[in-house]
Amino acid sequence: MSDTDGKKPLGLRGARPGNVKQSFSHGRTKNVVVETKRKRVVVPKPGAAPGAGSTGGAVKGDPSKRPAGISDAELERRMKALAMAKARESEEAAAREAEEKARAEERERRRAEAEAKEREEREREEALKAKAEEERRKQEEAAAAKAAPAKPAEPQEAAPPVDAGPGRAVPARKTDRERDVRPERPTKAKPDRSDGGRRAGKLTLNDALSGREGGRQRSMAAMKRKQERARQKAMGGQVEREKVVRDVQLPEAIVVSELANRMAERVADVVKALMQNGIMATQNQSIDADTAELIIEEFGHKVVRVSDADVEDVIDSVEDNPEDLKPRPPVITIMGHVDHGKTSLLDALRKANVVAGEAGGITQHIGAYQVTTESGAVLSFLDTPGHAAFTSMRARGAQVTDIVVLVVAADDAVMPQTIEAINHAKAAKVPMIIAINKIDRPAANPDKVRTDLLQHEVIVEKLSGDVQDVEVSAVTGQGLDELLEAIALQAEILELKANPERAASGAVIEAQLDVGRGPVATVLVQNGTLRQGDIFVVGEQYGKVRALINDKGDRVAEAGPSVPVEVLGLNGTPEAGDILNVVETEGQAREIAEYREQAAKDKRAAAGAATTLDQLLAKAKADQNVAELPILVKADVQGSAEAIVQAMEKIGNEEVRVRVLHSGVGAITESDIGLAEASNAPVIGFNVRANAPARNSANQKGVEIRYYSVIYDLVDDVKAAASGLLSDEVREKFIGYASIKEVFKVSGVGRVAGCLVTEGVARRSAGVRLLRDDVVIHEGTLKTLKRFKDEVAEVQSGQECGMAFENYEDIREGDVIEIFERESVERSL
C-alpha cells in the first residue's frame, strides 16, 4: 500500500531540479540549479510480480516460488534492482514529457512574442507617422504663427503623440516573460537591429530635434557634397566639370572672343591657350582657321570648318515674289566725251529741279541726287559722270545704272570717248538716250550728230530708230524737261521694280573718310529699305547705320529702292562699287567682312605673284630692261586715290613703268603692309598715315612708307624714281609721336596741347603734323615745347609736355602730333 504512495512522489521529486544558493565573499550569492538524485526505494507491488520479470515481485511475495539457491538477501537485492530500473524508466519518461512540454511552451512563447513584436512595430510606425504629421502641422503652424505668434497651445498638443510611439512600444516589448526567457534574447535583438528598429530609436531623438525622419543624416551628406562642389569651383574645378564636346563652326578667320563664345569657354582661357601656343592675341583680334583649330582641339571640341561661301549665306538672297514688287525710280548715268557738257547738264538738271522744288535750297553733293519731273516721275541721277566710274562699278558687280544719257555736243562730233560710252552701255545692256547738247551754240548741227551715231549702230528716233534723242542746252536750259520726260518714258518701258519690304541691299557710289564723321559712304539702295539701326556688311567693311542723310542734306529715317543716301556708322571706308547688304547680327556682318578682307588679300597676293612672274617672263623673252615699279596708294578720299592712280599710270618710259598694286581710302593698315611686302613695293600715303600696328609691321618687314600732301610732289618723286634720276634729296624722317591728352587755353600763347610723347622724341626745332584719325589736319612748326614750366629743346618718349602750334589753334583731345625732321638721304624709291 505504502509502495504505491511512495512511488509517485519519488518519481516526481527525482525529475525536479533543485535550487542551491551559493554564497561568495563580499555578500555575493548565486543560485545554482542542482539535479538531486534520490535513492530509490523499490517496493514490489502485490500480485504484480509474476508477469513483471523472471525475478519479479512473485519471488518476493512467495518465497516458495523463488528460484532455488537464492537467499533472502539476494532476493531482496534483486528486487531492489528491479524496482530501481522501473523507477529510472518512469523517471526518464517524465523528463521527456517535461522537456516536450517546455518546448511547446517555448514555441508558444515565441509565437506570442513575434506577434507582440509585430504589433509593436506597427504601433511604432504609426506613432512615427503620426509624429511626422504632427511635426509638419507644427511647422506649418509655426510658419503661420510667425504672423501671429501667440499660439502656444499647438506645440503642447503635438507633444503627446511624440511620446506615444515609444511609450506604447516599450511596455509592449518588455514584458516580464520576455525578460525572463534568456535564450530568446538574440531572436528579439536581431530584428531590432536589422529592420531599423534601432534607427527608429535614434529617429525618435532626431525627430524630437528636427522633426524629420532621417533628415539629419541625409542633409549632412548633401551638405558635404555641396561643400565639395563649392570647394572644387573655388579651386578652378572646372577641369573636373563634365566636359561638353561642341561642334565649333570655324570660318577662315575668327575673332578670339567669338571663338571662345562658340566653344562656350572663357575668353581668358582661350587667350591663355593662345599664349601658350606662342600667339599673343587679345580677345578682339582675329586669328586664322589653323590656329583656331589648334585651340579648339586643345579644348577638346570638334572643329567644323565652314567653307568660304557659307559665311556669305546669311545674306538674304531669296528671289522676290512678283506681287511684292513695287515700281521704283530709274537710276541714270550721264556719259559722253570730255567737254561735251556732262557736268553742266547734271548741274542744270539738278538746279532746275531745285528751283522748281525748293527755291534757294542748298544742295548737297553726295554722289547722286533725285529729280522729280513735271509729270511727277522721280529719277535718280548718279553724280559721277564718265564711263570710268560706270565701268569700275560694273567690274565690281554693281550694275546700278538703268539708263545711260549719252551727251554729244551738237557743235562737235562723235568722239572716241563717245564711242567708248556707247560700247559700255551696249555691253551692260543698258538703254541709251541721246542728249544733243549745246544746241544754243550757233555752230550746232544736231543732225550731223544723229547721222554720225548711225555708224555706231545707234539709230535715233528721228531717223526712225528706237533710241530717243533730245536736243538740249545745259546753259539755257532748253530741252531739259523734254530730256526728263524722255527718261521717265524709258523707265516706264523698262518696268523697273523692287521690293521695299525686304532687307536692304545697295551699291556704294562714293566713299570717304570724313574728318568729323568718320567713314562715310553714299549708297544707292537697289532693293529693300535701308533703315537707321540696320546692321550691314559692305565690301570688306561692316557697320550699323548710325544716320542716313539724303541728297538735300536732311537726315532721314529710311531709304527705299533707288534712293541715294549717305550712310554713317561704318567701321572703315568701303570702295565705290561695293555692295551693301543688311544682315541680322553684327557677328555675321563682321565675319563676312573679315572673310572678304582675307579673300581680297589672298587675291591681291596671288595677283602680285603672278605679275612678278609675268614680269620675269617678259624680261626673259624680250631681254629688255623694262622695270615695273609697284606701288600701293592710300589716300584720304576716293577722288585723290583715283587721281593718283591715273597720274601714276601715265608715268612710264621705255625703261620703267609704275604699277599701282592697290589703291584705297583711309589709314595705311597692316594688310597694306603685307601686300607691299609681298610685291616689294613702297606704300604711298596721301594725307593719311599708317596706324600703329602697320607702322610696326613696316619697320619689321622693311616696307617703306612715304607720306605726301601734294600730288605733284608725289608725281615728281615717282617720275624721278622711274627715270632712274635718283639723286639725293631732302627727306622727312619721323622722330616721334605724341598724343594730346588735354587742351588748355593759355593767355598770350593761345591753345596749348598737354601731350604725352608716345614714341621717339619731341623736338622744338622739328616740323610737326597734326593727325586726327590718321588723317593729316595740319602741318607746321611748334611755337612752344614746355616741360612743366620750362621751355625745353627735347622731350623723350614716355614724358609729358606742353605743345602749341605756330599759327594753328584747332587742336583736340585725342589728336596725334607727328614730329619729323628733314634730312638729306639717298633716294631709294
Which spans of this chain sit near ligand GDP (rule: CB under 6 A)? 336, 338-344, 385, 437-438, 440-441, 473-475
Q: How far is the CB of 388 from ligand GDP (least distance, A)?
A: 12
Q: How far is the CB of 384 from ligand GDP (least distance, A)?
A: 11
Between residues 437 and 527, which has the closer beta carbon with respect to ligand GDP?
Answer: 437
CA distance 137 to 126: 16
Hey, is 521 helix, strand or coil?
strand
CA distance 135 to 212: 8
Look at phi and psi of residue 321 and say left if phi exceeds 0, alpha if psi is from -120 to 50, else beta.
Answer: beta
Query: How far, CA to CA in Å, does 818 sit from each of 402, 700, 813, 823?
Result: 47, 20, 15, 16
Between residues 384 and 671, which has the closer beta carbon with respect to ligand GDP?
Answer: 384
Q: How far is the CB of 433 from ligand GDP (least distance, A)?
A: 16
Q: How far is the CB of 438 from ligand GDP (least distance, A)?
A: 4
Closest alpha carbon to 437 in 347, 560, 557, 316: 347
Hey, is 214 helix, strand or coil?
coil
Residue type, 404: V
CA distance 544 to 756: 33
Between residues 385 and 802, which has the closer beta carbon with respect to ligand GDP?
Answer: 385
Q: How far is the CB of 332 from ligand GDP (least distance, A)?
A: 15
Between residues 340 and 786, which has the closer beta carbon with respect to ligand GDP?
Answer: 340
Q: How far is the CB of 512 from ligand GDP (least distance, A)?
A: 21
Between residues 441 and 448, which has the closer beta carbon with respect to ligand GDP?
Answer: 441
At residue 322, φ and ψ (nearest 5 deg) are -55, -35
Between residues 342 and 634, which has the closer beta carbon with respect to ligand GDP?
Answer: 342
Between residues 482 and 729, which has the closer beta carbon with respect to ligand GDP?
Answer: 482
CA distance 382 to 375: 21
CA distance 236 to 242: 13
Q: How far is the CB of 486 from ligand GDP (least distance, A)?
A: 17
Residue nearest ligand GDP, Cβ-based: 341
Query: How far, CA to CA in Å, does 785 sit from each of 326, 799, 804?
Result: 64, 12, 7
Dig out the grid coordinates for 576 from the structure: 565705290
Residue type, 716: D
Between residues 432 and 684, which has the closer beta carbon with respect to ligand GDP?
Answer: 432
The arrangement of strands across the sheet holding 468-471 comes to: 368-372, 378-382, 331-336, 403-409, 432-437, 468-471
DSSP letter string over 382-398?
ES--SHHHHHHHHHTT-
Give the largest CA-CA distance in the chain: 200
Q: How far is the CB of 416 from ligand GDP (least distance, A)?
A: 14
As to burial, measured by CB atoms within 10 angstroms (0-12 exposed, 13-18 middle, 19+ buried), residue 616 is exposed
At residue 364, φ and ψ (nearest 5 deg) are -115, 130
Closest alpha carbon to 771 in 795, 744, 736, 745: 736
Residue 139: how many CB atoms within 10 A of its CB?
12
Q: How far is the CB of 477 from ligand GDP (least distance, A)?
A: 9
Contact 430, 491 (CB under 8 A): no
CA distance 173 to 159: 22
Contact 504, 582 (CB under 8 A): yes
Q: How far is the CB of 337 from ligand GDP (least distance, A)?
A: 7
Between residues 452 and 815, which has the closer beta carbon with respect to ligand GDP?
Answer: 452
Between residues 420 and 779, which has the closer beta carbon with respect to ligand GDP?
Answer: 420
Between residues 27 and 442, which has the closer beta carbon with respect to ligand GDP?
Answer: 442
Give the DSSP letter of residue 581. Answer: E
Between residues 270 and 414, which has the closer beta carbon with respect to ligand GDP?
Answer: 414
CA distance 68 to 616: 161
Query: What pairing do the DSSP bridges indicate for beta strands 247-250 and 302-305?
Result: parallel
Q: How far is the CB of 369 from ligand GDP (least distance, A)?
A: 16
Q: How far is the CB of 443 from ligand GDP (least distance, A)?
A: 10
Closest alpha carbon to 238 in 225, 226, 229, 248: 229
Q: How far is the CB of 312 from ligand GDP (least distance, A)?
A: 38
Residue type, 464: S
Between residues 389 and 658, which has the closer beta carbon with respect to ligand GDP?
Answer: 389
Between residues 131 and 342, which has the closer beta carbon with respect to ligand GDP?
Answer: 342
Q: How far is the CB of 341 from ligand GDP (least distance, A)?
A: 3
